[in-house]
């Protein structure tokens, strides 16, 4: 058994453990679905950040992504995994998460640039979740974003949290890769943070799980 196959099995078990933990939190401990969704979202994203340490190609990651994509589609249609699917609103976030992780990793391998995976998935796993939790906790008390006559289902505070956390993480990771703080590094980090924050604000029905990482990746690839 190759090392990559061995770790693929371990990763698959770990991702299943995340789903199982979410089910326990929801069904036994009665944690709200919105919170168990964020737990699974963040835990899966942060676990995936270790992919560049293990894989030199994207074959095994692509296989995992396809499997979990199919699992999430079946679970959604059969009303399973209620820790993720037990919400009344229409959302495709759970289905799109494996697509985002797999796609971003494949692109980073193809372009031979690990930060094209690390920064987008960090933003997806941390900034997006913190913004969502902020909106859920303070949402009824906060003013939502309105642009002309278009009312977005996002708050100014949530979007600000998203932007500042994305900016800080982008600056740190870029500095780690480049080795110094420069105008170019700061501009790249700011562009990624503002671009991701804008698409997150306009994305609904869980589509931000796709638009946020790929917007971040696209902007990063320009620098």
For residue 209, the model assigns a pLDDT of 92
- Under DSSP, the state recorded for 39 is H
Supply 202's token pair. Answer: 């306009």
Instruction: Provide the number of structural domains found in the chain.
Output: 1
For residue 159, the model assigns a pLDDT of 85
| Residue burial 133-161, b: 16+ Cβ < 10 Å; e: rest | bbbeeeeeeeeebeeeeeeeebbebbbeb
Supply 145's token pair. Answer: 């974003």
- CA angle, 187 then 193 then 198, to 5°: 125
Q: Are 135 and 158 in contact (CB under 8 A)?
A: yes
For residue 196, the model assigns a pLDDT of 94
Q: Are 197 and 163 in contact (CB under 8 A)?
A: yes
For residue 73, the model assigns a pLDDT of 93
Helices (H), the chain: 3-27, 33-48, 51-54, 59-77, 82-85, 93-110, 115-122, 128-138, 156-178, 183-202, 208-221
For residue 195, the model assigns a pLDDT of 95
For residue 182, the model assigns a pLDDT of 80
Residue 46 to residues 28, 219, 222, Cα–Cα distance (Å)? 25, 21, 25
Q: Could you tell me the pTM of the whole model?
A: 0.89
SS3 for 153? strand
Q: Are 122 and 220 in contact (CB under 8 A)?
A: no
Sequence-distant contacts of 10-15: CB under 8 A, at least 24 apart: 11/47, 11/64, 12/64, 12/67, 14/47, 15/44, 15/47, 15/64, 15/68
Residue-wise pLDDT tens for the chain (223 aa)?
Answer: 688 899 999 999 999 999 999 999 998 998 998 889 999 999 999 999 999 999 999 999 999 999 999 999 999 898 888 888 877 778 888 899 999 999 999 999 999 999 999 999 999 999 988 988 887 766 555 556 566 665 566 777 888 899 999 999 999 999 888 877 788 889 999 999 999 999 998 888 888 899 999 999 999 998 8
Domain that holds residue 101: 3-221
Backbone angles phi, psi at 123, to 5 degrees: -65, -40
Alpha-carbon dihedral sign for residues 162, 167, 168, 170: positive
């Amino acid at each position: 058994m190759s090392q990559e196959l061995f770790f693929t099995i371990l990763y698959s078990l770990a991702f299943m453990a995340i789903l199982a933990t979410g089910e326990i939190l929801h069904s036994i401990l009665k944690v709200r679905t919105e919170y168990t969704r964020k737990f699974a979202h963040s835990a899966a994203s942060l676990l995936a950040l270790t992919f560049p340490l293990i894989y030199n190609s994207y074959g095994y990651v692509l296989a995992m992504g396809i499997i979990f994509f199919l699992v999430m589609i079946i679970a959604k249609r059969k009303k399973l995994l209620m820790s993720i699917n037990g919400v009344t609103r229409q959302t495709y976030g759970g289905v799109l998460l494996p697509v985002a992780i797999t796609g971003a990793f494949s692109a980073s391998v193809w372009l031979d640039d690990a930060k094209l995976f690390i920064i987008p998935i960090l933003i997806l796993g941390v900034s997006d979740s913190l913004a969502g939790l902020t909106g859920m906790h303070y949402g009824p008390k906060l003013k939502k974003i309105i642009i002309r006559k278009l009312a977005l289902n996002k708050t100014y505070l949530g979007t600000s949290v998203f932007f500042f956390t994305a900016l800080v993480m982008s600056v740190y990771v870029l500095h780690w890769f480049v080795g110094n703080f420069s105008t170019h590094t700061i501009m790249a980090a700011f562009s990624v943070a503002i671009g991701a924050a804008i698409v997150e604000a306009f994305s609904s029905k869980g589509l931000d799980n796709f638009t946020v990482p790929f917007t971040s990746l696209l902007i990063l690839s320009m620098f």
